[in-house]
Structure 1
Amino acid sequence: MSHDDAFRTLDRQECLRLLAKVPIGRVVYTRLALPAVMPINFSLDTDASVLLRTSPDSTLVRAVDGVVVAFEADEFDAVTRSGWSVVVTGRATVVTDPDEHARLSETAPSSWMPLRDAVFVRIESEMVTGRELRGTPGMQ
């Protein structure tokens, strides 16, 4: 199998379909002028934006509200040497509309961390890119 056969670029719809299959991803943002990465559970909203539920006083909320971030999720199988990775890039905003917050309270994922009050962070899917690695058994 050639290098070109091993990697495949995924289109937007394939990326969104794969994102919907996994519960955990990573938010990539800037903290103290340095890159930071935080794993977090998520879901996709009907408009294909990434939704996070977190604490209103979290470091993440303070760092990402109103700025462009990346969100990455993936799935890999070491045995078959196959998998995929998808990156969503867009502006992150805290949902402040009460009606929207109520809707998301019913549909968005529960946080895996215990929260007293929750806020929702929406990452717009302005740019969605992905790659698939097809199995290459026996390659060193």
Structure 2
Amino acid sequence: MRLLASVQFGRIAFSRYALPVIRPVDHIVAGDEIIVYVGAAISISSYQQVVAYEVDTIDHRTRLGWCVIVTGDAEFVSDPAEIDRYHALLTGHPPEHGDRIIRIHPDIVTGVEYVDAASGR
């Protein structure tokens, strides 16, 4: 979770009409949960569903870096106070009509680090 907290953007993967969808989104880490701003344009089901969330930092020149993938249940944040607080942290402005925030409860966390084989770093 420390690596996830070190970057602001990631990619959420979910199923819509039985087809895979992947979208870039903003996130924050709150305790052991990932809070994701999905706005109004991303159509995640209104009921709880399993999603994957991927975050990475890879240097395009050296091809070194890391990748973390989290799989878990996602649910919409419905408490108005939480929505206001998370929205401000994620976007810096008040919520607009239709904006949505989801909470991901990690069940599986995997990762890989891309290191220089010669130096081990």
The residue number in structure 1 matching 2:116 is: 135
2:19 counterpart of 1:28: no
| Unpaired runs of at least 5, structure 1 | 1-15
Cα distance change of structure 1 residues 91 and 64 upon mapping to structure 2, 3 Å threshold: farther
Cα distance change of structure 1 residues 58 and 133 upon mapping to structure 2, 3 Å threshold: same
Q: For the Cα contact (< 8 Å) 1:86–1:130, is it kept in 2?
A: yes
* Equivalent residues in 2 for 1:33-44, closer than 5 Å: 33-44=18-29
CA distance in 2, matches of 1:64, 1:28: 15
CA distance in 1, matches of 2:117, 2:61: 10
2:24 counterpart of 1:58: no
Counterpart amino acid of residue 48 in structure 1: D
TM-score by length of 1: 0.71
Cα distance change of structure 1 residues 27 and 43 upon mapping to structure 2, 3 Å threshold: same
Shift of 1:79: 2.5
TM-score by length of 2: 0.80
Bigger relative CO (Cα 8 Å, ≥ 6 apart): 1
Shift of 1:78: 2.8
| Of 84, 91, 96, the match for 1:116 | 96
Shift of 1:23: 1.1
CA RMSD between the two structures: 2.5
| Unpaired runs of at least 5, structure 2 | none
Identity %: 33
Q: Which runs of 4+ in 1 moved over 3 A?
A: none
Q: More helix per residue: 1 or 2? A: 1
Q: More strand per residue: 1 or 2? A: 2
The residue number in structure 2 matching 1:69 is: 51
